[in-house]
Amino acid sequence: MPQPVDPRVLGATAAGGAVGVLARGMIVTPVGDPVTAAWVTFGVNVAGALLLGVVVGWLDDRRPLLRAFLGTGVLGGFTTYSALAVALAEGLATPWSAAGLAAASVIAGIAGAVVGLFIGRRIADRPGEIELPEDAE
């Protein structure tokens, strides 16, 4: 049976999502050229994956409201592969260049997330271990 959704977590996620979408809009919307917009969206997604890795590595299972706000909310709203897909479809002249940028986006996003997890775990001073919630300070 699915767990009921905590309204506080839902609220934190929604508030964070609004912040993330606004931040992405402020970065991508002013870009007029479709090809440039595709590259800017690529950069936003990779940066967001890196930052999400930091948040997950830093917070792990601690501070669920903060993780919902920053991770699922802010960074979930900030990054968007659907916007990248549309930008690729509109802006790039050939399907091969669009496919190449899409593949690069996924690969760079994974690499960014791995680096972010490493950084987040270093920030939390837990390089490779998972701290139990009851042991958290």
135 lies in some domain? no
Tokens of 111: 């690499």
61 lies in some domain? yes
108 lies in some domain? yes
Q: What is the pTM of this model?
A: 0.80
Q: Which residues carry a binding-site annotation?
A: 76, 79
Per-residue pLDDT tens for 82-115? 777 777 777 666 778 778 888 898 999 999 999 9
Q: Give the chain's domain count.
A: 1
75 lies in some domain? yes
137 lies in some domain? no
Residue 17 belongs to what domain range? 7-130
Number of H helices, E strands in the chain: 6, 0
Q: Which residues carry a binding-site annotation for Na(+)?
A: 76, 79
What is the SS3 assignment for 85? Answer: helix
CB 83 within 8 A of CB 28: yes
CB 78 within 8 A of CB 48: yes
Residue 132 in this model has a pLDDT that exceeds 60:
no
Per-residue pLDDT tens for 59-71? 888 888 999 999 9
Q: Which residue has the higher pLDDT, 28 or 133?
A: 28
